[in-house]
Structure 1
Amino acid sequence: MSLDSPQTATRHERLTAHEALQRLEHERASRLTQLRAIGEAGPDAEEQVMAAQKATIGRVLKEVEAAVARVGDGSYGLCGNCSKPIPVERLEILPHTRFCVPCQRDTV
């Protein structure tokens, strides 16, 4: 499955565990790199902005870790609310998501 694949029809298949783990590992590495950069920014950085960024990155990192656990238990790609498959296109964009779009809207 490629991000370059045509989007002419909605795909209903699920990402393989390998594909999901690749995307999640990329997300994890990106967030950890961001956290290290914030830690190295030094005293000249704006503390409030840095704290907000760090909190956001930490939250996303926890979501990525939870998604890795879902891959392990076989529930990855299923909506945590309605239990229907989350469209592959959504998982390609946001690999750590727990909800399909309609259920995400309901949780906001």
Structure 2
Amino acid sequence: MFILELSYTAPLDAVDAVLPDHVVWLDDLYAQGVFLASGRKEPRDGGVIVAVAEDRARIEEITAGDPFVKAGVCAYRVTEFIATKTAPTLEPYRETLP
């Protein structure tokens, strides 16, 4: 499982100009089952996405395709973790330590 932390690197008006394309990108990845939750940070200086993928390389490929990244208005920090305990609804994503 991955936590994707977005930090805006441009003023909010530049971010908002790309927001509709970013939302379409989010919707597609939700439909693929990659994204589990997302939202903006408070204060509004970026966002957070909870994601699942086969490996970090796939996540790096996904984040590179974000319209925010392509427009140069955000940077990502990717944290991989092993979800050994979850809420019942996230049980399919629960992992065991090696």
TM-score by structure 1 length? 0.29
Task: Flag the structure with higher strand content.
Answer: 2
* Higher radius of gyration, 1 or 2: 1
TM-score by structure 2 length? 0.31
Structure showing greater relative contact order (alpha-carbon pairs closer than 8 Å, 6 or more residues apart): 2
Task: Flag the structure with higher helix content.
Answer: 1
